[in-house]
Amino acid sequence: MTRKKILGSHLKRLLSGVSDHGKSHLSEVETDLLQTELLLEEAVDKLTRSFMAIHEAVGARQDSINLLLAGGTPSADEIARMKAMSGEVGVHVNSAITSMQFQDMTSQLIDRTLKRVTGLRAFLGTLGTHSAGVNAETGSEEIVDLLGKVSMVLAIQSLELRSVLRKAVNQQHLESGDIELF
């Protein structure tokens, strides 16, 4: 292979490697951010509903208490409603607790995105660092050698980055998860 072709081949490999690496990671960033947004929206929606339901239940309980304090006699319906109240508040509190766990999941997703962004910055920094030694007098053989080294370093960085980016959060909704006893 002629020197020109070797240079072209190395350059092509480097450029397509950087492009593929960047696109792949940015696509994952997009996925994680969309998932984070979904979980946040659902959490806010469910928490709003839970708190409003708790507010309503507590308000109704207070009405009944006020009636009793005023010496009133609750009707059969009111008695039945009062008996059901403590269970009702408990259900809404449990629902709120399930929803509040969005923080743990979104925190993991955001952490993963930050690690990815940091890794991408380091990856691009490598390109900058290695380009520092290139000037107008640099011969093509040196450039071929440099391109080879940069490709190797970037490949290692790419593998290292992937190794710390395992996806541990696949939840798309805030319904309670499976339970399995072994």
* Residue ranges that bind another protein, judged by CB under 8 A: 93-94, 97-105, 107-108, 168-171, 174-182
Q: Smallest distance, Å, CB 55 to another protein? A: 19
Nearer to another protein, 77 or 104 (CB): 104
Helix 102-131 crosses helix 140-163 at what angle (to 10 degrees)? 170
Q: Smallest distance, Å, CB 83 to another protein? A: 19
Neighbouring C-beta atoms of residue 24, cutoff 10 Å: 12
- DSSP code at position 176: P
The three-state secondary structure class of 32 is: helix
Q: Smallest distance, Å, CB 72 to another protein? A: 32
22: number of CA atoms within 13 Å, CB side? 12
Q: Distance between CA 131 and CA 111 in Å, rounded?
A: 31
Diameter of the chain measured on Cα atoms? 103
Q: Smallest distance, Å, CB 76 to another protein? A: 29
Q: Distance between CA 88 and CA 36 in Å, rounded?
A: 30
Nearer to another protein, 69 or 181 (CB): 181
Nearer to another protein, 101 or 157 (CB): 101
**For residue 105, which of 161, 49, 52, 175 has the smallest C-alpha distance?**
175
Q: Smallest distance, Å, CB 52 to another protein? A: 19
Nearer to another protein, 2 or 182 (CB): 182
174: number of CA atoms within 13 Å, CB side? 25
Nearer to another protein, 91 or 127 (CB): 91
